[in-house]
A = this chain, B = another copy of it.
């Protein structure tokens, strides 16, 4: 597995060990991780700290030009909020661990010229499908789905 996607998986597993939703993300610039994050819904009772948002927040305030040279790695297809954040900051490329358990706003991203690499990595699929099966209510809350 790509080392940066692996780092996103490690973030997801770190979140899972905290009792949270196992989704992780890293923001990479010039071959270096400049922001790491994972979903914090449970840990911080946060409704906006999806993994990608957490990684962007942890990267700190950056010059607008830096984002335009970044790649965002995420274990799961990015939801409309996280996709919108990528569009706001004009992040040109997103590497996605998998989109089998959840299909995010990939069409929107592609329509704006964002390059997507969907890996459909088996370990990412298994991590997420196991979580969703065991925690359907928490998962539905995270994606705003009424049961």
Chain B residues closer than 8 Å to A90, beta-carbon distance: 144
How many chain A residues sit at the interface, stated as a range, is 35 or more
| Contact (Cβ within 8 A) A48 B41 | no
- Nearest Cβ distance between residue A129 and chain B, in whole angstroms? 21
Residues from chain B with Cβ under 8 Å of A63 in the complex: 141, 146
Q: Does A3 contact B (CB under 8 A)?
A: no
**Distance of A36 Cα from B1 Cα, bound (Å):** 42
Tell me whether A145 is interfacial, beta carbon within 8 Å.
yes
Contact A47 B41 (CB under 8 A): no
CB closest residue in chain B, given A53: B48
10 cross-chain CB contacts under 8 A: A45-B60, A46-B57, A47-B61, A47-B62, A47-B89, A64-B144, A79-B88, A80-B88, A81-B85, A88-B144
Q: How far is the CA of A101 from the CA of B77 in the complex (A)?
A: 32
Q: Can you name the residue of chain B whose Cβ is closest to the Cβ of A147?
A: B64
Give the contacting residue for A64; candidates B68, B83, B146; CB below 8 A. B146
CA distance A83 to B88 in the complex (A): 10
Residues of B within 8 A of A146 (CB): 63-65, 68
CB-CB < 8 A to A84: which residues of B? 79-85, 87, 105
A140 interface hit (Cβ, 8 Å): yes
Cα of A62 to Cα of B142 in the assembled complex, Å = 10
A59 CB within 8 Å of chain B: yes
- The interface centre, meaning the residue of A62, A80, A82, A147 with most chain B CB atoms within 10 A of its CB, is A80
